[in-house]
Structures are given as structure tokens and as C-alpha cells.
Amino acid sequence: MLLKILLVFAFALVLISSTNLSFGQTEDKLVILETTQGNIAIEFFPEDAPNHVSNFMNLTESGFYDGILFHRIIPGFMIQGGDPNTKNDNTSTWGTGGPSHSVNAEFNDIKHNRGIVSMARSQNPDSAGSQFFIVHQNSNFLDQQYTVFGRIVTDESFETLDKIASVHTVARDIPEHPEEVVIIKATTASRSEISDLLDLGEPERVSSSMDIPEQPLEGTGSQMFENEDLDVAFSVPEGWFLQEPPRVDENTPDVVAVGPKVGEINSVISLRVVDKDGTSFDAFIANKNELLQEVVSTGNLEVISQEKTTINGKEAYVTNAIGIFESNNQSFEVKFKETTIMGNDKFYTFAYSNGIDDFENQLPRFDDSIDSFQILSEPSETSQESSEEGGGCLIATATFGSELAPQVQQLRELRDNTILSTQSGTTFMAGFNEFYYSFSPTIADLERENPAFKEMVKIVITPMLTTLSILNYVDIDSEQEILGYGISIIALNIGMYFAAPAFAIYRIKK
């Protein structure tokens, strides 16, 4: 009897070893995406995401994916497809389409490593439909925030992924030549029909809190987002997952950028654009505050501060708050900063949220987005900065993540709340911005390319930041005082950067 059992077991091992298997959690079908760059074979993880697997298979078998593009391509990050709107030529709708149903989140502990297939969604965790993305290079800041449901499993699949990731893109990461990245047909196939399955083993998983980085990801660059329909352009932190979610209700943001998971939750920056329709700025803010108070009354939100200010020469209103956010039966303490800017025809509301302990880590990135914000149809003080890829504020880039970052943030607030509240200060900043942004983006790009150069710039600007910080400790209540202090600080910096070195050179030569 024992011999018979051993023979049966050995026969089973032979069958398993001779069957063409990757590490699928099922003997069922795979999906083959036949694209203009080659084929992509996808196996699934139904034990981790059964509803997403079923949804993807059903859409495939119905022909839903046939003729759809990979409409968003970011090399080194991911390629995204699955939007039926990409079958038409109106690129402004790409990224917003899907089926008539949605799938609830099935977040799991599979890491977003190269080749993983995961489901795209809006800010609402339960909004997945048909759009999916394939990870080009490890992007573990997405772990446990998006539903992993499969991975690619052949050499040709990885070659095709690299080919698609290498096509030239234009604004919003859209392929310049869409015909190069078409899913010609999506079909199902059994494992036995695929001759070149890779032996990938079990997918890597988030095993403990040690797998979550405690510091922000390296790289302080930015990617320019531009949308002619929204009439906006602004910088988004490089590598953040940028989305334009489908409109669910009037409060759905038009643009969402999801950042790395540093602590308990991901950092998020969003933009909501609302037509003015004859509403004054004060009335719009009063209505927002009325809705805000309804949340405050529930005890789930505490408003820290609210103030009216000026940003890039436009009226603005800034709110800081702390609230309780619930997800997957867990509660998190989240800090928010919301900035509403008034344009000629629209109100633009930027919001930044992060865990309360990690809020300051990514705040400079949000400030960079605000500083670079441009209404395309209106002249802007920062148009020089927003006109080209990359760029930005050389001071913010040099000090990001360093001990000087809080000091720069204080100076920003001083500029917005004090200097720009006076006519002389506004006039000076308008002229200064025109001069400053004629060279700042170029230097900021050099800082991102060369860490040593970035450190050198930080050392050079440290004395200037120190002198400017004096303004945080004085009372400025009039035009005369802002002029007096401003001229004194400019004279002090001229002495440090020009007069003192010139005198030293003169003495050395003498």
C-alpha cells in the first residue's frame, strides 16, 4: 500500500513538472493581450482578488478591451490602459471612461514589482472598473493602496512592456502616436497553450511594516501636468500616480496625484475646478465653510486655521485642518491643507492630505504645485516656470527634505501673508518673479541631475535665507515698514555676496 501511494505521488510530480506552469493560483485561463508592440500574457491571483479577476476575465471575453489603447505611459513607472474612451479621438476624455459597473477594493499584500498587473481607480477605493496598469519598474509606494490581481508571465510580455514604455509621449503622458500602443485583441487561453511561461515563483509580498519606507522616496523632481479643457498647468511630484478620475458627484476632484506611502497612508494632492457662474469669491468661500462646519459638528474634523491671502497675484483662501479618516475598518488621523485660488472664470481648489505624523515631509511638494500653478488662458507671474518640463523653484529644490525646508515654508507664508498684502510688496514680487523665473527652472533641473551641485546651491543660499528669516521676528504694519525692512535686507545681502568678497579680493591682491 505504501509503495502504491509513493508511485501515485511520484506520478503526480512528473505531471506537475511536465506541465507549463508559472506560479498561478489557479489552473484556469490566462489572458493574452495582442498589441501593436507584441503579445502580453497575464496570469491571475484569484485567491487575493477574486472579484477583480472575474471582472477582468468577463470584460476580456466580451471583447471590451479590443481596440483600446494604453493611454498613459510613464517609463520607469507603469503603462495604463483599459479605457473605452480611447477608441475616439477626443483625448481630453482619455482616462475617464469605464464600464457601467465598479468593483470594490481587494487590497492585498502583493508588492507592485515589475510586471505586476493592478487595477486603476479614482480617489474612492471602490471605484475600479476596466482600467488597469502594468508596473514597468518596482513602484512599492503603491502597495496595499491598489488591487493587484495578476502579472505578466513570458519573456515576450516583458519585451512588449519595455517597448510600450519607450514610445514618445506628449502632455498628460499620452502617446504621441496612439496607433503604436493599441490592444488589437484580448483573448483567454489555457496554460497548456502557452509554451514559454516563465518560472516566476510566488509573488513578493509586504511581509511587515519594515517593508514600508520610513522616509520619502528619493527624487525631488516634478512632472508638468497640463490640461487645456481644465485650462490649467502645474507641477506634480515626479513618480506620483497621476489620475483624472471619472466624475462621480460634484465634489469629485478633476485631477488626483497619489504619492508614496511613508507612514500609515499615502500622501495625496488633488485639484477641483468649479465654474464661477457669477458667484463672488467671498460667497464661494462662505458656502465651502458652511459645508465644512457640518463635518466639524460631527466631531470628525477640527479646523486649525483659515485665512485669506494672495498667491501668484490672485486672491486665495487657505484652510488647515485635522480629521479622522476610516479605511478597511481602521481609523487614521489625517492632516489637510486646502488652497482655493480665484481665476477670471473659475475657482481652483488644491488639497493636500497625509498622515498627521508625515504631513510636513511632502508639504514642500504641494507648495511647489501651488507656486507653479498657471491658468493657461490668463497671464501668470510663474508662466516662465511652467512653460517647460521639469524646472521649478531652485530654492525649494535645493532645500527639499533638508533642515532648511521648514525655514523656506515659513518664508512662503511670510511672502503670501505679509509682503503681498502691501502694494509695494506686490509690485516688488511681480518684478522679482519675472527676473527670478528667467533662470530658476534651469538651475532647479541641474540640481536634480547633480546632487553635488544641489548641495553647493544649498550652501550658497543659506546666508540669504537666514537674513530673510529676520522678517519673521519683526512687526510689519505699514508700507513704510515693509520698504524699510526690505531695503535693509537687500543691502545686507549685497554686502555679504558682493561687497565682502570684492573687499577680500582687493586685500589679497594688495
With CA atoms as reference, report the closest residue to 164 among 32, 60, 39: 39
The predicted pLDDT at position 410 comes to 67
Q: Label the pairing between strands 314-327 and 301-311.
A: antiparallel
The predicted pLDDT at position 329 comes to 61
Structural contact between residues 180 and 170, judged by C-beta atoms closer than 8 angstroms? no
Name residue 272's beta-bridge partners: 349
Instruction: Please tell me the distance from the alpha carbon of residue 148 to that of residue 276, in angstroms, as a whole number.
Output: 40
With CA atoms as reference, report the closest residue to 229 among 92, 383, 369: 92
Span 173-228, pLDDT tens digits: 899 999 999 999 999 999 888 888 998 889 999 874 334 333 333 334 567 788 88
Q: Which residues of the chain have pLDDT under 50?
A: 1-22, 208-220, 380-390
Span 226-265, pLDDT tens digits: 888 888 888 888 777 777 776 656 677 888 888 876 677 7
| DSSP-based three-state secondary structure for 361 | helix
Report DSSP state, residue 204: P
Structural contact between residues 197 and 154, judged by C-beta atoms closer than 8 angstroms? yes
With CA atoms as reference, report the closest residue to 165 among 86, 74, 36: 74
With CA atoms as reference, report the closest residue to 67 among 186, 157, 195: 186
Name all domains of the chain by residue range, CATH numbers in brackets: 21-211 (2.40.100.10), 214-376 (3.40.1000.10), 391-510 (no CATH)
The predicted pLDDT at position 209 comes to 39
Instruction: Please tell me the distance from the alpha carbon of residue 245 to that of residue 256, in angstroms, as a whole number.
Output: 7
Instruction: Please tell me the distance from the alpha carbon of residue 130 to that of residue 364, in angstroms, as a whole number.
Output: 34
| DSSP-based three-state secondary structure for 278 | coil
pTM to 2 decimals? 0.52
Which grid cell sits at 246? 471619472
The predicted pLDDT at position 416 comes to 62
| DSSP-based three-state secondary structure for 327 | strand
Residue reference for cell 476580456: 60
Report DSSP state, residue 495: I
Instruction: Please tell me the distance from the alpha carbon of residue 67 to that of residue 84, in angstroms, as a whole number.
Output: 8
Instruction: Please tell me the distance from the alpha carbon of residue 86 to that of residue 96, in angstroms, as a whole number.
Output: 10
